[in-house]
Structure formats: structure tokens, C-alpha cells
Amino acid sequence: MEGFPKFDILKAIYQFYDDYVSQFDFVCQPKCTACCTQHVCITTLEGAFIIAYLKEKKCLNLLDRLNQVDPNRLFSPRLSTNMLAAYCLNRREPPVEEECFSTAPCPFLEDGLCLIYPVRPFACRSFFSQERCDIKGEAVVPPVLVTINILLNQLLEHVDTPGCYGNMIKVLLFLKNEENLGRYFLQQCLMPEGLVPNRPIPGFLFPPEHQREVRKAIDKLALLRIGQIDMKNVLTQILRPGGEHV
């Protein structure tokens, strides 16, 4: 999975997050699959990363599982994370998302285990609970972690411009086509049906009480140097006076 610089950024963000969440205690265990549904949204960068992994492992046939999913039952967001952030920062009411989505098992789930676990997308990587979901009925997540999750979702989308965002199954079905994948690697503008375009960060979203923790996270991210990419320069370009929080 070498040769595409954005993969190195993605891996660095994943590693940063894995290290960050190690300070929390969660009850999640292998074969705990309450969150492993078809209601997962990713960037095209993450989709391309998954496909590159499957190619490397000679497991591209796993993508055939996607054809068994009913596309009419898939949640398709109208807004990306940064599009929503722009609405919030401008104090505008965002469009209402559709409520219907499938809770059917993820097509990459087999015998309670994830077949793409090493390259699972951030939406899966960031889903934790401090109490058992099957008993509580919902995940219990520290509020500050929700804030950090949003921040990193914003950063991943920013890095993946001019890519797209949407339901994981739709993203992978689009990139499964070699022509579409090639256009993505050339960083050509993509306009696939059912996906929304990624946007640059208009400003980070976080409540005032999390400002210190967010600043710590940003400072740690700024220390990352990935190949020829200096994350401090990337973050400096993103941040602007008055645009860091709402």
C-alpha cells in the first residue's frame, strides 16, 4: 500500500487516535458486534485504503459481498462533517438527514469478526462504549472523546479533498471500478451519485469546556511529520482567528 502520500497521512492519524484512546477504559471485546452495521460512512481515501489492502492480501473477492446489500436501505448522508460544520459556524440550520437506514450486519462481518480489521475506517475505529451496548441499549462515550472524534473526522475529510464522503458500501462500490479508482488516485474531481464532495475545514467544532483538550490534541498532531508532509503547516493553514470553535 505504498506510493500514495495520503495513505501515510491516514495511517498516521489512525495511529494517533489509537494511542489517544488508550487512556480510556472500554468494555468492547472481539465478537461484540452491536455497532457493526451497514450504517457506516467513510471518505474515498479510506475506501481506497481498504481496496489497496485487499489487493495486497489478494482478497479482492471480499468486495463481492457488497453486491448482496440492498442499496435502497442504505443511509446516504446529505452533508459531510465539514459541510455540517460550516452550517454550525454560520449559525444556519442544516438540512434534515433521512431517518431510514439499515441495521443489517456489515458485509465484512464473519463469525462475529471483522475481515478488514487492520484497515477498518475511522467510523468503526472510533466507536467505543464504557458500558455494554446490548444491555444499555446505546453506547456510552466520554463527551470529550466525541469532540475529538469530530475533530479527526473533519481533518480526514480535509485531507481527502477533492474526494467524496458517504456510506461505506457505496464508496467501495464506486472505487471497485478500476477507472474510478484510477481517477481518484489522480486526484480528479469525482461526482458519483449517492456521495457528497469533501470540503476543507471551515473551523473546528468543539464546546468551550473541551478547548484545552482539543488544543492538546492539535499540538500533538502538529508534531507529526509524514514523509515530506509537515502536519504543523497543514494545521496552520486550517486554523484561522475565530474559526476554531463554536
**Average pLDDT per 10 consecutive residues for the chain, totaling 246 residues:** 82 92 80 84 97 96 93 89 93 82 85 94 88 75 90 94 95 96 90 92 90 90 77 71 42
Question: Can you tell me the distance from the alpha carbon of 130 to that of 140, in angstroms, rounded to the nearest whole number?
Answer: 5
**Could you tell me where the beta strands, DSSP code E, fall in 5-133?**
41-43, 109-110, 113-114
**Could you tell me where the beta strands, DSSP code E, fall in the chain?**
41-43, 109-110, 113-114, 164-167, 196-197, 225-226, 229-230
pTM, entire model: 0.90
Q: What's residue 151's pLDDT? A: 93
Question: Can you tell me the distance from the alpha carbon of 143 to that of 128, in angstroms, rounded to the nearest whole number?
Answer: 12
